[in-house]
Amino acid sequence: MKTTALIEMGKDGTFGVFTPDINHTIIGDGETVEEAKADFENSVEEMILSYTENGRPIPDELKDIEFEYKYDLASFSEYYDRINVPKFTQAVGINGRETLNGRREVAHCTL
């Protein structure tokens, strides 16, 4: 099953990853996007392992699960640090306080 994993930068500058589209709560966090993704993927493995170790069937939504990572603008610019964010936002017509969907809240970019 393929589902979305959202990567967001917190107010403290750390990153979090979560899945809004499945019933199980799976999260990861880290000082960098890569650390957060690694922690998230480890959480997935641990959850699946907990089912198998306890002799319980793995829920369908966790079988062969794959993730499409989506980023908020802060996480996107941190992960792809070669992009000049001020020039990018100017080119697409948003200011530095807005996000890609034009509101002052988290927006997501599919890469």
pLDDT in tens, 31-54: 998 999 999 999 999 999 999 999
Instruction: Give the DSSP H/E element, type plus range, for residue 67.
Output: strand 66-71
For residue 85, give the CATH number of its domain. Answer: 3.30.160
pLDDT at 10: 87
- The reply to whether the predicted model has a pTM over 0.75 is no
pLDDT at 18: 93
CA distances from 8 to 32, 60, 63, 82, 109 (A): 11, 27, 25, 19, 11
- Residues (pLDDT < 50) of the chain are 98-111
pLDDT at 9: 87
Residue range(s) defining the domain that contains residue 23: 2-110
The number of folded domains in the chain is 1
